[in-house]
Chain A
């Protein structure tokens, strides 16, 4: 592996590690973001439920 490719991979790793650590930091220092996650999950569940209730599946048995 060339030196440039190795440097590139290390940079990508550092970028993702930095981003992930920042996310962990803001989520651990602000409890409001947990409320936000809760509300987001509830919205997804309600939306999927609404969508499934709006659909009627037809099944026909032919003997």
Chain B
């Protein structure tokens, strides 16, 4: 509490608490951190990042921002979902890229040694191919799912709003008839 002395009166004003300060810090730092993660992922992936990851991440984030703007009651949860989705998307793709890098240097003989059992001769390239398929599936399915989920949220909200509007109108007509 800070006290301010003015003419014949003292005003006690509550200052900013550390919890409040950390809330403001999170509100600013988390989106900036996610943005930097997206830029990092886009730059690490080269042309794939420019042509697929950047539009997909932008679409997810912009739809999340539109839904947060349109539905103020669910703003906090929508922003949280969007941040987690975009950050998880980029982190997942970077993880798979790293795994592809590891699998690329692995021969079937090395895999046989590590699992201590016979393996097919083409196992090394199979793992790499599987990871690449996973990368493609993840890079398309995640944005489609997230955008679909946000669009559904918006449509459901608008339907509920129009239903409430119609019900309010009917109530209004009834009230007028009673008078």
- Please list the residues of chain A having a beta carbon within 8 angstroms of any beta carbon in chain B: 22-23, 26, 29-30, 32-33, 35-40, 42-44, 46-48, 50-51, 54-55, 57-63
CB-nearest residue of chain B relative to A37?
A: B35
Q: List 30 A-B pairs, Cβ < 8 Å.
A: A23-B39, A26-B42, A26-B50, A32-B55, A33-B54, A33-B58, A35-B58, A36-B38, A36-B61, A39-B62, A43-B61, A43-B83, A44-B27, A44-B31, A47-B28, A48-B27, A48-B28, A50-B76, A51-B20, A51-B24, A54-B23, A55-B20, A57-B13, A58-B12, A59-B13, A60-B12, A61-B9, A61-B11, A62-B11, A63-B8
**Distance to closest chain A CB from B49 (angstroms):** 9
Q: A33-B58, A57-B14, A63-B9 are in contact. Are A42 and B32 (CB under 8 A)?
A: no
Q: Give 6 closest A-B pairs by Cβ, nearest first.
A: A47-B27, A39-B61, A35-B58, A32-B54, A42-B65, A43-B31
Main secondary structure of the interface of B (DSSP, over half): helix
Main secondary structure of the interface of A (DSSP, over half): helix
**Distance to closest chain B CB from A41 (angstroms):** 8
Check if A39 sits within 8 Å of B64, measured CB to CB.
yes
In whole angstroms, how far apart are the Cα atoms of A62 and B5 in the complex? 10
Q: Does B69 contact A (CB under 8 A)?
A: yes
Inter-chain contacts of B137 with A (CB < 8 A): none
In whole angstroms, how far apart are the Cα atoms of A61 and B13 in the complex? 9
Check if A43 sits within 8 Å of B82, measured CB to CB.
yes
CB-nearest residue of chain B relative to A36?
A: B58
Q: Does B75 contact A (CB under 8 A)?
A: yes
Inter-chain contacts of A29 with B (CB < 8 A): 50
Q: Does B94 contact A (CB under 8 A)?
A: no
In whole angstroms, how far apart are the Cα atoms of A55 and B14 in the complex? 11
Contact of A30 (CB < 8 Å), options: B20, B50, B61, B68? B50
Inter-chain contacts of A58 with B (CB < 8 A): 12-14
Inter-chain contacts of B42 with A (CB < 8 A): 26, 30, 33
**Distance to closest chain B CB from A31 (angstroms):** 9
In whole angstroms, how far apart are the Cα atoms of A51 and B24 in the complex? 7
CB-nearest residue of chain B relative to A29?
A: B50
Would you give the 0/1 interface string for B70-95, flagging 1 where the beta carbon is closer than 8 Å to chain A?
00000110010011000000000000
